[in-house]
């Protein structure tokens, strides 16, 4: 692999600017650049670097992670005429759309979503895929094809997700087993769609049964509405402890806890004791309002690893979406009630913290490894931004971005500023390179 030299970069946690050398897919050297001095002739172990990126003070950071996406549905909103989905609620509309899925359609749309994620600096993604009696395995097969096309560019986890339930959709059981035999490396769930508390608890138990049977981790939707009756997060924590699955469970959404009263701290402490990681979804709106942020401050105070995902992208559940981690950070700061001096904490939720949550590594190790964002010895999954700092990147989005996967540039977007007018400038956007 050709060595890569990134020159004159800003790095969070390190003063000044630095040259960074990447060899064999890892960061091997970081040298401070003295103001006004010539750049040193940095040499790799196999000779001079032949690929050089001039950062010009831009922020070099650990690449972003997308921990929660439904790529089988991405860009599917236009698959059916609006007349066929008019008047349906989001659940029914999504079901109607996915009934028409073909593996070829899903593969094409999922690849489009994956390309967009990479262009926005993402090198790791977790994909939830509907596996039920409506979609069958068509969505799973399509996303599996798209994942194969992205090999070496984007690392993708596959979650077999019974969107329609298990008690409500008994046919999903065999389909889930087939998906787990065919490449899915996580089992999903959504207990709240079942009818009544007993059926919801049975759903959770079945998900854990499948996880034990196939020795896979769990990525489960829970309490997706701002409703104090949504109570499955605590049940999931209890089941995690009872099964000894500590650190092997991700729960997403978890909006119900926002409405809990006196017992919210107790639930948060139980989630922390189970080492269940929580993915909040700040961008996804339904019925004219937000779906909630799951009290990130309360959860984090209890010791829960909280990360931030996107969820839906132009589909039957949500017509918008950008797959831009900077948008996720901005919305999480605003929606989660973070101060402007807490941007670093939220940045961690889409970067190092999200990566460690997906890898099931403990928080202490994650914190120790991310004291500086880029360090010698790390795998060179990096993103180079035009902004000079994290706050600038979040507050002034739209700048240039280069995505690096294991030391290889896989996407680059440049912005050339021209025609200064009264202190402003017009920007021209040019897609320079996308490697596939």
275: left (phi over 0), alpha (psi -120 to 50) or beta: left
Q: Alpha carbon of 43 to those of 4, 8, 51, 378: distances in Å?
A: 10, 16, 12, 19
Q: Residue 9 half-sphere exposure, CB side, CA atoms within 13 Å?
A: 27
Chunk the chain into consecutive blocks of 10 residues (it has 436) and report each block's average pLDDT, rounded to whole numbers.
94 96 97 73 56 95 98 91 79 90 98 98 98 98 98 98 97 98 98 97 98 98 94 98 97 95 96 98 72 91 97 90 94 92 96 92 54 89 96 88 97 69 42 45
pLDDT at res. 435:
47
pLDDT at res. 165:
98
Q: Using N-to-C axis directions, what is the helix angle for 264-274 and 232-243, rounded to 10°?
A: 30
Among residues 209, 236, 206, 240, the alpha carbon closest in space to that of 221 is found at 236
pLDDT at res. 87:
80
Q: What is the pTM of this model?
A: 0.92
Q: Is there a common fold for 4-57+374-434 and 65-367?
A: no
* Integer Cα distance of 203 and 214 in angstroms: 17
The architecture in CATH of the region 65-367 reads: Alpha-Beta Barrel (3.20)
Among residues 360, 142, 375, the alpha carbon closest in space to that of 240 is found at 360
Q: Which fold has domain 4-57+374-434?
A: Urease, subunit C; domain 1 (2.30.40)
Give the residue extent of every domain in the chain.
Answer: 4-57+374-434, 65-367
* Integer Cα distance of 208 and 170 in angstroms: 16
Tokens of 132: 């039920």
pLDDT at res. 414:
82
pLDDT at res. 424:
42
């Amino acid at each position: 692999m050709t060595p890569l030299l990134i020159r004159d970069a800003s790095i969070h946690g390190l003063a000044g600017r630095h040259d960074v050398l990447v060899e064999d897919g890892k960061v091997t050297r970081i040298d401070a650049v003295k103001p006004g001095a010539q750049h040193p002739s940095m040499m790799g172990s196999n000779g001079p670097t032949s690929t050089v990126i001039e950062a010009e003070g831009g922020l070099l950071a650990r690449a972003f992670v997308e921990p929660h996406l439904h790529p089988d549905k991405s860009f599917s909103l236009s698959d059916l005429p609006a007349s066929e989905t008019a008047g349906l609620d989001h659940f029914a509309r999504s079901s109607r759309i996915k009934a028409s899925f073909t593996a070829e359609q899903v593969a094409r749309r999922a690849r489009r979503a994956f390309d967009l994620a990479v262009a926005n600096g993402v090198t790791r993604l977790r994909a939830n895929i509907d596996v039920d009696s409506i979609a069958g395995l068509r969505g799973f097969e399509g996303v599996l094809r798209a994942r194969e096309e992205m090999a070496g560019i984007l690392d993708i986890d596959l979650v077999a997700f019974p969107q329609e339930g298990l008690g409500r959709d008994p046919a999903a059981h065999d389909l889930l087993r087939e998906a787990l035999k065919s490449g899915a490396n996580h089992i999903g769930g959504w207990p709240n769609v079942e009818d009544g508390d007993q059926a919801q608890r049975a759903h959770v138990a079945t998900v854990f049964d499948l996880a034990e049977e196939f020795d896979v981790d769990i990525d489960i939707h829970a309490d997706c509405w701002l409703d104090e009756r949504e109570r499955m997060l605590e049940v999931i924590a209890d089941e995690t402890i009872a099964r000894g699955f500590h650190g092997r469970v991700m729960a997403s959404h978890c909006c119900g806890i926002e409405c809990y009263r006196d017992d919210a701290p107790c639930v948060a402490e139980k989630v922390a004791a189970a080492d269940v990681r929580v993915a909040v979804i700040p961008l996804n709106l339904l019925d004219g309002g937000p779906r909630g942020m799951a009290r990130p401050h309360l959860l984090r105070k209890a010791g829960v690893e909280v990360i931030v995902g996107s969820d839906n992208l132009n589909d039957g559940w949500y017509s918008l979406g950008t797959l831009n981690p900077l948008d996720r950070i901005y919305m999480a700061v605003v929606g989660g009630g973070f101060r402007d001096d807490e941007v670093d904490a939220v940045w961690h939720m889409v970067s190092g913290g999200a990566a460690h949550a997906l890898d099931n590594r403990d928080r202490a190790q994650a914190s120790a490894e991310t004291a500086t964002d880029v360090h010698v010895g790390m795998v060179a999954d990096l993103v180079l931004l035009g902004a000079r700092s994290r706050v600038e990147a979040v507050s002034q989005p739209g700048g240039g971005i280069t995505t690096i996967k294991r030391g290889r540039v896989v996407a680059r977007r440049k912005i050339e500023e021209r025609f200064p007018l009264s202190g402003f400038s017009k920007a021209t956007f040019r897609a320079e390179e996308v490697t596939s």
